[in-house]
Amino acid sequence: MTVVKSGQSKATIFATIKKALQTPSHVIDPGRPYKVPSAPRQFAADLSTRFVDEVTRLGAGCFVARSNDEAKGYVVDLIRKRGISRVALSNSPVVNQTGLSSALSSISIRPLIVDFDGCRDENELSVRKRNIRESLLQTEIGITGVTYGIADTGTLVIGGDNEYNRLASLLPVIHLAILRSDQLLPDLPTALEGLNRDGHVNQAITLITGPSRTADIELTLTIGVHGPKELQVVLLQI
């Protein structure tokens, strides 16, 4: 079966649009509702406090570390306490700097390193991708870095610089993100500015705001649907 490209339809649709727009709009303004008193929350002045606040309110775990060692210690502790054995590490700068890989081997855990570079050919790449994917589907905790953290909303941005891996933040049961405080931005407009390079953006950018959730049954909130059931954030306070 040939793929229909529908070039004719495009022309038809555009022609219809142009003709439609020849008639100017008739605007009837709906007016402004009576002003409801707003009660904007007072935000902490510094980004880190604000960020931690928001992340916690989303029901995600948040730990502030003052050094790479402290961060590493927290993560290893968490893994050990929960009896987790299947760990994935994204091959990103902040994660690497914590030295987690070797720390985990010292407790007999061989983490899956999510890294697609360095394959010699297409076949090897395809095999590695399949293996990583299948492993991630069984992984208990996926540890990644971020591109930015957004203080206003407790959001993690991945898919730009410093963290290109998406599946490691999506497939495991727990997603743990490590970020440095100098990766924090105040709000979404600022983050969008950073992500947009002259009209070009990376192929897949994801904003993660809390663990996965649904309220589809009786509008009752349930945490943990298809995405990770739990979100943990480690903020490396520089």
Partner 1 sequence: MPDSTTNQSDHGTKTVSLFVTCLVDQFFPNVGEATVQVLKRASCEVTFDNRQTCCGQPAFNTGYREEARVLAKRFIEIFEPAEYIVAPSGSCTAMVRNFYPELFTDEPEWHERAKSVGAKTFELAEFLTKVLGIETTGALYNGKVTYHDACHLLRELRQRNEPRRLINSVEGVELVEAENCDTCCGFGGTFSVKYPEISGAMLNDKIKGIEQTGAEIVVADDCSCLMQIAGGLSRQGIKIRTMHLAELLAQNPNNRLRK
Partner 2 sequence: MRITTETFDENARGALLNRPLQAALRHATHKFVDNRRYAITELDDWEDRRQRSNAIKRETIEHLDRYLEEFTTNVEKAGGVVHWAIDSAEACRIVVDLIQSKGEKLVVKSKSMATEEINLNHALEAAGITPVETDLGEWIIQLAHETPSHIIAPAIHKSRADVARLFTDVLGIEYTDDIPKLTAVARERLRERFATAGVGVSGVNFGVAETGTICIVENEGNARMSTSLPRIHIAVMGIEKVIPKFTDLALFLSLLPRSATGQKLSSYTSFLTGTKRTAEAEGPDEYHLVMLDNGRTKILADPIQRSSLFCIRCGACLNACPVYQRVGGHAYGWVYSGPIGALLTPQFIGMDRGKQLPYASSLCGACKDVCPVKINIPELLLDLRSKIGGESGSLNGKRPRLAEQLSKKAFAFIMARPGAYNLAAKLGRILQLTIAKNGKIADVPIAPLSNWTKNRDFPTLAPQSFRERWKREQENSGKE
* 116, 166 Cβ separation under 8 angstroms: no
Position 83 contacts partner 1 (CB under 8 A): no
108 binding partner (options partner 1, partner 2, none; Cβ < 5 to 8 Å by kind): none
Q: How far apart are CA 133 and CA 138, in angstroms?
A: 9
Stretch that binds partner 2, among 61-69, 75-83, 112-120, 177-185 (CB under 8 A): 112-120
Give the one residue of 61, 73, 186, 227 binding partner 2; rule: CB under 8 A. Answer: 227
# residues contacting partner 1 (CB under 8 A): 6
On the 0-12 / 13-18 / 19+ scale of CB atoms within 10 A, 220 is: exposed
Backbone angles phi, psi at 49, to 5 degrees: -60, -45
Q: H or E stretch including 138? A: helix 122-138
Q: How far apart are CA 47 and CA 37, in angstroms?
A: 27
Give the one residue of 70, 164, 172, 179 binding partner 2; rule: CB under 8 A. Answer: 164
Give the one residue of 5, 18, 19, 26 binding partner 1; rule: CB under 8 A. Answer: 26
User: Position of tokens 């948040």?
Assistant: 62
Between 81 and 200, whose beta carbon lies closer to partner 2?
A: 200
Position 33 contacts partner 1 (CB under 8 A): yes
Position 217 contacts partner 2 (CB under 8 A): yes
Position 10 contacts partner 2 (CB under 8 A): yes
Burial 5-28 (b: 16+ CB within 10 A, else e): eeeeeeeeeeeeeeeeeeeeeeee
Q: Which of residues 101-130 bind partner 1 (CB under 8 A)?
A: none
Position 4 contacts partner 2 (CB under 8 A): yes
Contacting positions for partner 1 (CB under 8 A): 26, 28, 31-34
